[in-house]
Amino acid sequence: ALPNRVTLCDVGPRDGLQNEKQVVAAADKVELIHRLQAAGIRRLEATSFVSPKWVPQMGDNAEVMAGIQRRSDVAYAVLVPNAKGLEAALPTRPDEIVVFTAASEAFAQKNINCSIAESIERFAPVVAQAKAAGIKVRAALSCAIGCPYEGDIHPDKVDAVAAQLAAIGVDHIGVSDTIGVGTPRRIQQALERALKHFPLHEVSGHYHDTYGQALANVYASLEVGVSTFDASVGGLGGCPYAKGATGNVATEDVVFMLNGLGIETGVDLDGLVDAAAFISGVLGRPPVSRVARAVLAK
Ligand code: HMG
Ligand code: MG
């Protein structure tokens, strides 16, 4: 049987907006977050504390965090690549931090300028410090299926890096298909490797939709019991270090499918479409998600 409840983490404000060419005002990011929480989203990635030289779009991280009218039932997560990032993030009181590495050496080098082994070494004290401060630590494992530089990634790589992340005390792993090349069986194989090192409720799927496989991959993940997913309102997103990769699976597309399956999310579809329409207006282009387009055309 499939899980009867799914938890969605909307990564639109972070993954969605980190890749935009145009500057998006902090006030618009905050408004997007407010609309997401009004729609019933209870976990979201608000921003990232990375180097503004690397990703200028997230340079307003502290301003965004300060502008949010917090709800006590919403978990606000931020990306943190190193100790300097944690130091900057802590005063903004995130509920969760997300450290991020890759199952591909080449991608780790391009994205965080170090090897996988160095990233684990770098994260160990960050994880310890965050947990001592009562902050949950998630890890994103990029290129769990394929890499823009190395091609196919073997599930053994997922296994090995997941083991290292568990060993340094990371609470949760997000199996990430950065470039959207995963197909259902390959996704299940990657998840099964992560599940050797993390409990079922601490493994999530983060699927980009570049090749149109993301929704099928969410379904395939449900089949192996995984019930936590990242998704991005309006299908926004991409990674500056994975050229041509498009957005995450759209939150509203996932919610529509789960509604049809009778699986609870606590998220209101109309509210999500409203959030998608809002950010699309800011960006000056229609949402890419099929559900948002269909609902808005009515
Ligand atoms: P580096 O250049 O090797 O860092 O970058 P460094 O330690 O040598 O420091 C160089 C300069 O950066 C110094 O400043 C530091 O102070 C500063 P300077 O002395 O030259 O003036 N610096 C920082 N500033 C602010 N915040 C920080 C920070 N750290 C150093 N945290 C670094 C290494 C990791 C910082 C860099 O490579 C970086 O910021 N990378 C982040 C890239 C990124 O954000 N990628 C997108 C997010 S990941 C993603 O999208 C994938 C995901 O969605 C899952 C999936 O789909 O796969 C999560
Ligand atoms: Mg991503």
- pLDDT value at residue 241: 83
* d(C-alpha 189, C-alpha 174), whole Å: 14
Q: How far is the CA of 184 from the centre of ligand 1 (A)?
A: 32
Q: Which of 17, 19, 50 to mutate to test the pocket of ligand 1 (most atoms within 8 A of CB)?
A: 50
Summarize pLDDT for 59-90 with one digit per residue, the tens. Answer: 999 999 999 999 999 999 999 999 999 999 99
Please work out whether the CB of residue 153 comes within 6 Å of at least one atom of ligand 1: no
Q: Write the single-letter amino acid at 172.
A: H
pTM for this entry: 0.97
- pLDDT value at residue 238: 75
Please work out whether the CB of residue 61 comes within 6 Å of at least one atom of ligand 1: no
Please work out whether the CB of residue 85 comes within 6 Å of at least one atom of ligand 1: yes
